[in-house]
Amino acid sequence: MSTLDWAVLAGWLAFIVAWGVWKGGRSRDSESYLLAGREMRWGTVTLSIMATQASAITFLSTPGQAYADGMRFVQFYFGLPLAMIVLSVTAVPYYYRLKVTTAYELLEHRFDLKTRTLTSALFLTQRGLAAGLTIYAPSLILSVILGWELGITIAVIGTMVVIYTASGGTRAVSRTHTLQAAVILLGMAAAATVLTASLPDGVSLLDATRVAGAAGRLNAIDASFDPDDRYTLWSGLLGGTFLMLSYFGTDQSQVQRYLTGRSVAESRAGLLVNGLAKVPMQFAILFLGAMVFAFYQFSAPPVFFNPVEAGKARASAVGERFAGLETAYAAAVAERGEAARRLAGALRDGGGEAEARAAYAAAADRADAVRAEAIEVIRRADPDANPSDTNYVFLSFVVTHLPAGLLGLVLAAVFAASMNASSAELNALAATTVVDVYRRHLRPHASEAQVVRVSRLATVAWGVFAIVFAESASRLGSLVEAVNILGSLFYGTILGVFLLAFYARRLSGTAVFVAALAAEALVVACFAFTGISFVWYNLIGCAAVVALAYGLAPVLRRAPVAG
Amino acid sequence: MTEPAPPPHPTEGDPPPFGGTWARLYAVVTGWLALQVLLYWLFTRAFA
């Protein structure tokens, strides 16, 4: 990194912390600190919702996903606009009617205290661990590509987020989200511009697009009904709606964003504009990844994009074999590059297309075979090495090809995205800790000043927990997957409880509480005693809560509730 | 607690800050999604 890049990155980070502290102001009451005084307009609500969902991993992994697997991942988001409409009609007015600060308060009103406490505890467990991962994952990628010390990268991101989130609360989070979104947009636009300009002479953007399409990377829509295929039009519209409803409707890190709206109308509009903007944004990021793929069809990529693992292989007992494969790969991709140029010409001019396609496919197969062999050698050198390098593709391109200054801007965008997601998580964890635990169970008569003070302390405490967990995750690699599984263990149960709160009119709190406990036990049993993939736990947990609550209702009958 | 839901929030019936009515906004979001699916399908077909 050049001095200019460091100056851009450091300058931006210093500015955003100062801006967050300044814009956060001095909150004197809990509504001001935890909900920004409910004074945000729809534009700020939209940007804050989008910034919370789009963590650094979105901008680092999604292009890599398109590079390796094409653009079909965009279908995963097709349920989001539909979920925004459903939540605008149902959840938003419900939350406003009750004037809640956290989503879990609604459950006490609708059911009882124990149901509220159970779901808030599940949220704190799940989101508390996820907050560590939100810092850890991009830090790992940045440290691998740039050679930075992982522990320091984690500490820098975590500390900066804690400073402005604890100082200014939700207002600081929302205000920094809007500014950070602009930097992310600029960073991605800079990367796209340099990518287009870096295409070899005689290859236009349209040529590159055609080659990416011929290689199967522009497969945005798959209308097949294959249940084994994770990303199809139907899984996006059905499963995606389900998933987005649970995330935006019951996860406090999102609920708190739209509860900052100055009215029901502003909150609803914020959600709906998110529904308009999210899918095109994901399409653009995936298209960027597909263009990185096209770029590397004409230029030589490394045999493996994770330089740390490649370095380990070079220095190992099988280093000579790996070096030989690197040489063979360079020759294979040079051949592939020639074939790609001929294919681009054929697709542009329309002559000899079939032959050009066949030659390109054969050259690509040869290069892929050498790469697969190199990955095997990497695994032999380090059995714990991750054979997937998709997370490193985009940042590797950025570091290698962006000029001084713009690299700093893109890295600032990556930091911005990481800080956006982390700040929203810490803010939500603090709100739930204070509203659902401290003020509900420990100090019901705490003054507003005390609540604000404890909220700040809770933000710092969760921030420290996230940093410490992120530092530990670097030494306990398998724990990362364990946390993902842990999240899936809880999310379905929480969604089931909220679905009943919104739509079931005649269920008692005790029936729902017992159903939630039993459903949770069922999900844990699936995890412990069956081979069912954890991606199904959300559906199993949610369905079990609903079915068991209705099944138990006649046994545990109480006074019906009008909902 | 099991008590009836509170009365509607005073601002619940407010019109949207843009777009005229909520029904029209919901239609725009749904229509925009449908249009995108169509455009992405054409995009996939064009470059496959």
pLDDT computed for residue B12 by the predictor: 62
pLDDT computed for residue A561 by the predictor: 45
Burial bucket for residue A372 (CB in 10 Å: 0-12, 13-18, 19+): exposed
Residue A257 structure tokens: 């964003």
pLDDT at A373 over 70: yes
CB contact under 8 A, A93 and B18: no
pLDDT at A214 over 90: yes
Residues of B in contact with A111 (CB under 8 A): 2
pLDDT at A533 over 50: yes
> What are residue A40's DSSP bridge partners?
A261
Residue from A92, A97, A210 to probe the interface with B (highest B Cβ count within 10 Å): A97
CB contact under 8 A, B25 and A210: no
| Maximum average pLDDT range among A134-143, A182-191, A232-241, A321-330 | A321-330
Residues of A in contact with B12 (CB under 8 A): 93, 96-97, 264
Residues in contact with A492: Cβ distance below 8 Å, sequence separation at least 6, in sequence order: A246, A519, A523, A537, A538, A539, A540, A541, A542, A543, A544, A545
Residues in contact with A356: Cβ distance below 8 Å, sequence separation at least 6, in sequence order: A339, A342, A343, A345, A346, A347
Q: pLDDT tens-digit profile of B30-44?
A: 999 999 999 999 999
Residue A261, phi then psi, degrees to nearest 5: -60, 145
Collapsing DSSP to helix, strand or coil, A261 comes out as strand
User: Which residue carries 């294959």 as its tokens?
Assistant: A226
pLDDT at A440 over 50: yes
- Interchain CB contact of B10 with A (< 8 Å): no
Rounded to an integer, the average pLDDT of A404-412 is 89
- Interchain CB contact of A283 with B (< 8 Å): yes
Rounded to an integer, the average pLDDT of B17-24 is 92
Rounded to an integer, the average pLDDT of A164-181 is 88
Q: pLDDT tens-digit profile of A258-308?
A: 999 999 999 999 999 999 999 999 999 999 999 999 999 999 999 999 888
Q: pLDDT tens-digit profile of A77-119?
A: 999 999 999 999 989 999 999 999 999 999 999 899 999 999 9
Rounded to an integer, the average pLDDT of A517-541 is 85
pLDDT at B6 over 70: no
Residues in contact with A9: Cβ distance below 8 Å, sequence separation at least 6, in sequence order: A1, A408, A411, A412, A415
CB contact under 8 A, A276 and B12: no
Q: pLDDT tens-digit profile of A456-469?
A: 999 999 999 999 98
**B20/chain A closest Cα distance in angstroms:** 12
Residues of A in contact with B1 (CB under 8 A): 108-109, 112-113, 509
- Interchain CB contact of A198 with B (< 8 Å): no
**Whole-structure pTM value:** 0.87
pLDDT computed for residue A474 by the predictor: 58
Q: Which of A 206-225 lie inside 8 A of B, CB atoms?
A: 209-210, 212-214, 216, 218-221, 223
User: Which residue carries 């635990």 as its tokens?
Assistant: A437
Could you write out the three-class secondary structure of A4-20?
HHHHHHHHHHHHHHHHH
Distance CA A213, CA A403 (A): 28
Confidence at A369, pLDDT banded by 50, 70, 90? very high
pLDDT computed for residue A227 by the predictor: 67
Residues of B in contact with A265 (CB under 8 A): 11, 14-17
Q: Are A436 and A104 in contact (CB under 8 A)?
A: yes
pLDDT computed for residue B3 by the predictor: 47
Higher pLDDT among residues A112 and A539, named by residue: A112
Q: pLDDT tens-digit profile of A30-46?
A: 888 899 888 899 999 99
User: Does residue A231 come out as left (phi exceeding 0), alpha (psi in the -120 to 50 range) or beta?
Assistant: beta
**B35/chain A closest Cα distance in angstroms:** 11
Where do the H-state alpha helices sit in A251-306?
252-258, 264-298
pLDDT computed for residue B37 by the predictor: 96
Distance CA B28, CA A184 (A): 27
- Interchain CB contact of A562 with B (< 8 Å): yes
